[in-house]
Copies of this chain bind each other. A is one copy, B any other.
Amino acid sequence: MVKRVEIRQSVMAADERHARAIRKEMGRRSIVMLNLIGSPGAGKTTLLEATLRKASFRCAVIEGDVATSRDAERIAAAGAPVVQINTKGGCHLEAHLVAKALESLPLDEIDVLFVENVGNLVCPAEFDLGEDGKIAVSSVPEGADKPLKYPHLFHQALAVILTKADLKPHVAFDDALFWNDVTGLNPKAPRLEVASTRGEGIGDWISLVEMWLRSKGEGR
């Protein structure tokens, strides 16, 4: 077991070096890098599509999926530079995969890099990709009990976005339970509700990203 731990530590350390290098590069360029994490079907890609339609900042996207390039095709159709990473069974993105994907993106021409992680509320929360922050994306039809059942992501999230808010009339969703549990795990994270297909709440989300952009620009 000792050997297993040692080898795991060495693999993790190599990936942490990649994450540090990415964070340094994004800092030098004042690019805000956001790692979107949520369940399969939480609405991460639809949120990005709505963001690309409305934002005045320039975006690129890295799409992480177990298989298919369906999400990257949707992002490309929305007009942003995009790279698809297929993990071929892997349940999360790692920094070395992101470093490789960055080689194909026009970093001189963007303000914000969105990384859409593999649809998974557990594993991606464990891995630093060099991002400014992880964005927890949780949808109304998943139910209000998710924050406490998957606490690690919500605890560390830079912001929490509740998606598919337009479905509230059609499902039992306990708003107070959801947001109280988020508060318990992460009292200071900004929180947003959106209905991406209708564009509702997207303006507030874009304002939040613009605030991070200004902070990062000033920190340079």
B-contacting residues of A (Cβ < 8 Å)?
A: 3-4, 7-8, 11, 39-41, 65-68, 70, 89, 91, 118-123, 126, 139, 141-143, 145-146, 148-152, 164, 167, 170-172, 197
In the complex, chain B residues whose CB is within 8 Å of the CB of A65: 149
Q: From known contacts A3-B7, A120-B121, A149-B70, infer whether A142 and B89 are also in contact, taking CB-CB under 8 Å.
A: no
Contact A151 B67 (CB under 8 A): yes
Write out the residue numbers on chain B whose beta carbons fall within 8 Å of the beta carbon of A39: 39-41, 119, 121, 142
A40 to B70, CA, bound (A): 21
Name the residue of chain B whose CB is nearest to the CB of A46: B143
Whether the pair A149, B7 counts as a contact (CB closer than 8 A) is no
A41 to B170, CA, bound (A): 15
Cα separation A142 to B3 with both chains bound (whole Å): 40
Q: Pick 17 A–B contacts, CB within 8 A, sort by A.
A: A7-B7, A40-B146, A40-B150, A41-B139, A41-B143, A65-B149, A66-B152, A68-B145, A68-B148, A70-B149, A91-B91, A119-B122, A119-B149, A141-B167, A167-B170, A167-B171, A170-B170
The smallest beta-carbon distance between A123 and chain B, in angstroms, is 5
Q: Give the residue of B7, B67, B148 whose beta carbon is less than 8 angstroms from that of A150.
A: B67
Q: Within the complex, which residue of B68, B120, B141, B143 is in contact with A120, where a contact is CB–CB below 8 Å?
A: B120
Give the docked Cα–Cα distance between A67 and B170 (Å): 27
B4 and A150 contacting across the interface, CB-CB below 8 Å = no
In the assembly, what is the distance between CA of A142 and CA of B11, in Å?
33
